[in-house]
Amino acid sequence: MLLVVDNSEQPSHAEQLKSSLPEGVELLFCSNDGYGAAVNLGVAWHAQNSKDAQYLLVSTHEALPEPGALRKLESTLASRDKAAVVGPALVTGVDSELVWSLGGYFSRILGLPRHHGHKSPRSILNGAESHAVSWLDGAFLLFRKSVIEWHSIDEAFFLYMEETDHQQSLRRLGWEVILEPRAVVWQSSGGTPAFYQTRNIQLFQAKNGTGLQRIASAPYVVATSIARDMIKRRGTSQWAPLVAGWRAGMSLRPAPQADGQPKIVLINPLGAALAHYTDALAEMLRASGSDVEVQSINEPSVAGSSRWRWVFDYLRLLSNASQSRPGYRTSQTLVTWPVAGFLDLAVAKLICGRSTAIVYHDPKPLVRSIGSGRLIARMVSAIPNRPRIIVHSLAAAEAMREFGLGQSLEVLAHPMLRPNGRNGTGGHPQKERPVVRVLGQFKQDRDFDALKAIATELDDCALEIVGRGWPTVAGWSVDARFVSEQEMDDLVRSSDVIVIPYKRFYQSGIAIRALEAGTPIVGRAASSLADMYGADSSLLVPESNNAESAEPNPWTSAVRHAIRNGAPEAQAAANKFFDAAVSDWRTWISETVAHTKRSLR
């Protein structure tokens, strides 16, 4: 669906514009409050009228894409899970012979935005491939729609640098900004007005720069511009606007946040394993009215670094999060995984203070973990005003109480993306044989008896196990490797049933992803799956049944029920669980704001 936003403030041209647009193109008129305001208005319109779209193109009237450019941008954005926005190579000139911009970077000392490849011959595009850049020109940008809906453009800039500022906020949240040089768009640009050049660099640096950059950027721009005009004998017509913009920018500061809007810094020390969890949590917090910043590092097995380096990087993230940010009276640090078990409660208290919460997924880890013993727990329990503890199931809460860590303990629903959202929940296509999968890394607490029973009785199904470290399992096709986030999503969506064959677990990220995709889950009733489906669900295996002697085996009965009738139950469970999760986290945000305000009095 195509929308034209006209902010020209020329009513006499309205009828002419309407008549010149093809049928089906929508048109909005608005006052000229700048580029950002027009984009935000268009995004809000599409949020209501293009709900099923995954991507959103923002184009100015002066951009002309070459054939195939948009498809190349779409392909690149679809192939990069962490990309929020992708832009083309911008060219200019009568014959499109010069490069205008290949994205941008920031100068080393003052952090001034500079174009890559500016005014270079177009031939430099030959053989170029997509890659991350610091920023993209706002003339022609393809966004992940959910991202730009959550993160609007700052309208205070009016003109120039608002897209650069917007992209820095996305990068701080963990998103990538991607240049696709194989997509080419012609652009006509008159350059930057002198007034906004000096005014907006101050607003930009106030939000993104260092102390030196805030002080020195505008004077440097004024001095170099005047010197350039004198050398080239251009006259003095631009000097007054430069100085006026400098003076206007001195009073500009980022708009202070309302007292009720907290700043949440999400720290994810398992950047690969908990990527999906962190994305879902961030979206849920934003839906509750928070400004969320995500800081992630990859675990040693992915980064290829030592465990000590990983711990050092984690401490650095905690230190960064502890620094107060202007305009936020209610700041909170939320750690998605404790690197050192219960010791994290002491470390986070020391570095970040009271405004910290830590999520404990496995109070009694299946894999041996540093800092997770009873002695450490008793020592940490004596710390006054320690960080809050978050768990995602009643079983996990009971385990924490057994360790003496029941104080400041909160049970919140496992975060999930919206059902029917970007992961989709459409029905699965009919297959010759139903696909039953076990997904995720192998752990010793897997129930091999259940897997054996399923393989024995379900020879009419395709039985697959995909996950790192799995041994051979009779009757199952085993693919023992690590899979990417995108491939994991594809595996979840294309499964008819997902089996969770743990003997003991507190929550399952795979089960949450299956809920998001509308894929039925089979597992034990005496687990957190009962929180999703209800303990009496036919998809869950009751503990009273003996998997070795019961006829038919309860695991195979549950799988067959899931194949025949599981989809509607999965859909209903997904909607109910999502609503409960939103309510839980919204309440937590409200209590966080109130708690922080009390501590500031």
Domain ranges of the chain: 33-190, 192-255, 265-417, 435-581
Average pLDDT rounded to a whole number, residues 125-136:
94
Residue 301 confidence (pLDDT) above 70: yes
Q: What are the distances in angstroms from CA 486 to CA 78, 142, 275, 419? A: 10, 20, 11, 17
pLDDT for 393: 85
Q: What is d(CA 347, CA 356) in angstroms, rounded to the nearest whole number?
A: 11
pLDDT for 496: 93
Reduced to 3 states, what is the DSSP secondary structure of residue 497?
strand
Name which of 429, 377, 379 is nearest 399 in CA terms. 377
pLDDT for 422: 33
**For residue 223, what are the β-bridge partners?**
none
- DSSP, residue by residue, 90-125: EEESTTS-EEEES-EEE-TTT--EEETTTT-BGGGG
Q: Which CATH number fits domain 435-581: 3.40.50.2000, 3.10.510.20, 3.30.70.980, 3.40.1000.10?
A: 3.40.50.2000
Name which of 140, 64, 75, 58 is nearest 101 in CA terms. 140
Q: What is d(CA 446, CA 247) in angstroms, rounded to the nearest whole number?
A: 67
Give the contacts of 321 (CB within 8 A, at least 6 positions apart): 265, 267, 295, 333, 352
Q: Of all residues in the chain, what percent carry a pLDDT higher than 70?
A: 91
For residue 581, how far is the Cα from the chain centroid?
18
Q: What is d(CA 444, CA 464) in angstroms, rounded to the nearest whole number?
A: 18
Average pLDDT rounded to a whole number, residues 480-490:
85
pLDDT for 77: 94
pLDDT for 547: 46
Fold assignment, 265-417: Rossmann fold (3.40.50)
Structure pTM? 0.58
- Specify burial of residue 373 (Cβ count, 10 A radius: 0-12, 13-18, 19+): middle
What CATH code would you report for 33-190? 3.90.550.60
Using 50, 70 and 90 to split pLDDT, how confident is the model at 326? very low
CB 580 within 8 A of CB 413: yes
Q: Among 156-165, 316-325, 396-405, name the one with the lowest average pLDDT.
A: 316-325
pLDDT for 507: 75
pLDDT for 303: 82
Phi, psi of 335 (to 5 degrees): -95, 125
Using 50, 70 and 90 to split pLDDT, how confident is the model at 544? low
Average pLDDT rounded to a whole number, residues 279-306:
84
Q: Among 12-21, 210-219, 558-567, name the one with the lowest average pLDDT.
A: 12-21
Tell me the average pLDDT of the chain: 85
Residue 260 confidence (pLDDT) above 80: no
Average pLDDT rounded to a whole number, residues 25-39:
89
Average pLDDT rounded to a whole number, residues 325-351:
81
Average pLDDT rounded to a whole number, residues 35-44:
92
Residue 329 confidence (pLDDT) above 60: no
